[in-house]
């Protein structure tokens, strides 16, 4: 389990590195952290937007300033630098290296979400040691070496997994919103982070995409069984999609490793092709059917709703899109951020009272 000491307890003072890409869609980690832990963010680095505020750029985050570089963030007294992008493949852009060195030289910890392990970089590790600060690799996956045992009966909590039609379809945000809203419905819910952003926000989680193929499902199983001792609803952040050309294996390991009672399908409306690929996106109904079919032999599960990411639309357009999606899929749809997700919670309420899904 990837666990950040103090994460979620001691309040951190984070400056986020999002050079050249500080927008809601591009800087997923920055957006997530500012949305869900704004009091822990003191500044964002993006030299192309210096002088603006998070509020102006994201529509949330208040007066959190955008600064030129680590140097420019020092007046705001940060204690950590977060690498705030999630690039394809997880590689650290070379030009960011000098900012990391600057952060270490100024006594900041590093929170690193890339696949590259900065804590094992001799130059950076030596510098961190010399300055007495920490380099925390959020995707550290050493120590995961258990094959899943398939123990659905050991997990006493209900499990909801957010699945998607692609990367960047709102799976993490939907999981966060579901977790918050579930409290109003009488659940004692827990958000299960599986990506670097979720882990940095929640303070712990399973960096599933960095784990060796054989041990991905086992890592999820272990984490869920442990958390089910303290919570009655585990809301798992999904990754990519089971039809993704590069990451489908990760998505399926998440599905079979978590054995969800219910799934929420997340989608970016109007999308015709997969991000970064010349490949047509199948219709929503095909995603629903495939997920339910490939889940069933291990544990029957149902897609209980569609979460749409509509920030790019007017409210009127968003409502029309939701209506269209409901007609197309015959499932409740909403934008969880814009309109809440009580629609999904009603389906989950039903799960709470009955075991109908597990008997399908």
Q: Which residues bind its own copies (CB under 8 A)?
A: 88-91, 115, 141, 145-150, 208-218, 242-256, 274, 277-280, 282, 286, 290, 293-294, 297-298
For 245, the token pair is 């050309």
Nearest to 173 by CA among 321, 24, 348: 24
Closer CB to its own copies, 96 or 185, in the complex: 96
Supply the DSSP string of 250-316, one letter for each residue.
HHHHHHHHH--SEEEEEE-TT--B-TTSS-BPPPHHHHHHHHHHHHTTTS--EEEEEEE--TTS-HH
SS3 308: strand
SS3 270: coil
Closer CB to its own copies, 277 or 350, in the complex: 277
Shortest distance (Å) from residue 60 CB to its own copies:
29
For 256, the token pair is 């079979």
Closer CB to its own copies, 65 or 205, in the complex: 205
Backbone angles phi, psi at 102, to 5 degrees: -60, -40
Closer CB to its own copies, 15 or 236, in the complex: 236
Shortest distance (Å) from residue 302 CB to its own copies:
17
Shortest distance (Å) from residue 104 CB to its own copies:
24
For 96, the token pair is 């960011």
Shortest distance (Å) from residue 338 CB to its own copies:
29
Backbone angles phi, psi at 110, to 5 degrees: -115, 130
Closer CB to its own copies, 81 or 138, in the complex: 138
Sign of the alpha-carbon torsion through 263, 268, 269, 274: negative
Contact between 166 and 287 under an 8 Å Cβ cutoff? The reply is no
Distance from C-alpha of 204 to C-alpha of 193, rounded to nearest angstrom: 7
Shortest distance (Å) from residue 315 CB to its own copies:
32
Contact between 290 and 171 under an 8 Å Cβ cutoff? The reply is no
Q: Give the bridge partners for 202, in sequence order.
A: none
Closer CB to its own copies, 60 or 225, in the complex: 225
Shortest distance (Å) from residue 207 CB to its own copies:
9
For 310, the token pair is 């509509």
Shortest distance (Å) from residue 301 CB to its own copies:
14
Closer CB to its own copies, 20 or 90, in the complex: 90
Shortest distance (Å) from residue 172 CB to its own copies:
16
Nearest to 329 by CA among 358, 308, 352: 308
Shortest distance (Å) from residue 15 CB to its own copies:
27
Closer CB to its own copies, 159 or 217, in the complex: 217
SS3 67: strand
Closer CB to its own copies, 51 or 122, in the complex: 122
Beta strand pairing status for 41-45 and 135-137? Answer: unpaired
Beta strand pairing status for 80-83 and 14-17? Answer: parallel
Closer CB to its own copies, 78 or 238, in the complex: 238
Report CA Rg, the chain: 20
Nearest to 172 by CA among 147, 146, 149, 201: 201
For 354, the token pair is 């009955």
Shortest distance (Å) from residue 229 CB to its own copies:
21
């Amino acid at each position: 389990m990837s666990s950040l000491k103090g994460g979620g307890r001691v309040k951190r003072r984070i400056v986020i590195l999002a050079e050249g890409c500080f927008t809601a869609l591009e800087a997923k980690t920055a957006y997530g952290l500012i949305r869900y832990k704004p009091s822990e963010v003191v500044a964002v680095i993006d030299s192309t937007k210096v002088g603006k505020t998070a509020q102006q750029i994201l529509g949330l985050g208040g007066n959190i300033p955008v600064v030129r570089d680590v140097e420019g963030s020092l007046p705001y007294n940060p204690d950590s630098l977060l690498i705030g992008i999630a690039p394809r493949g997880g590689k650290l852009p070379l030009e960011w290296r000098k900012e990391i060195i600057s952060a270490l030289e100024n006594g900041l910890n590093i929170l690193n979400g890339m696949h590259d392990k900065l804590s094992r970089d001799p130059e950076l590790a030596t510098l961190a040691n010399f300055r007495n600060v920490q380099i925390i690799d959020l995707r550290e996956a050493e120590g995961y070496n258990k094959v899943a045992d398939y123990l659905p009966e050991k997990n006493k909590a209900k499990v909801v997994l957010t699945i998607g039609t692609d990367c960047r379809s709102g799976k993490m945000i939907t999981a966060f919103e579901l977790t918050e809203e579930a409290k109003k419905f009488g659940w004692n819910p827990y958000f299960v982070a599986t990506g670097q952003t979720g882990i940095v926000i929640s303070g712990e989680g399973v960096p599933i995409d960095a784990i060796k193929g054989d041990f991905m499902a086992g890592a999820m199983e272990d984490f869920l069984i442990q958390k089910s001792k303290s919570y009655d609803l585990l809301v798992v952040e999904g990754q990519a999609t089971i039809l993704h050309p590069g990451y489908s294996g990760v998505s399926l390991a998440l599905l079979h490793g978590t054995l969800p009672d219910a799934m929420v399908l997340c989608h970016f409306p109007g999308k015709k092709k997969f991000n970064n690929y010349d490949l047509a996106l199948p219709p929503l109904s095909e995603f629903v059917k495939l997920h339910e079919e490939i889940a069933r032999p291990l544990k029957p599960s149902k897609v209980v709703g569609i979460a749409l990411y509509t920030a790019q639309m007017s409210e009127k357009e968003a409502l029309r899109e939701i209506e269209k999606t409901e007609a197309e899929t015959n499932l409740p749809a909403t934008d969880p951020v814009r309109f809440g997700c009580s629609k999904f919670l009603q389906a989950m309420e039903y799960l709470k009272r009955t075991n109908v899904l597990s008997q399908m």
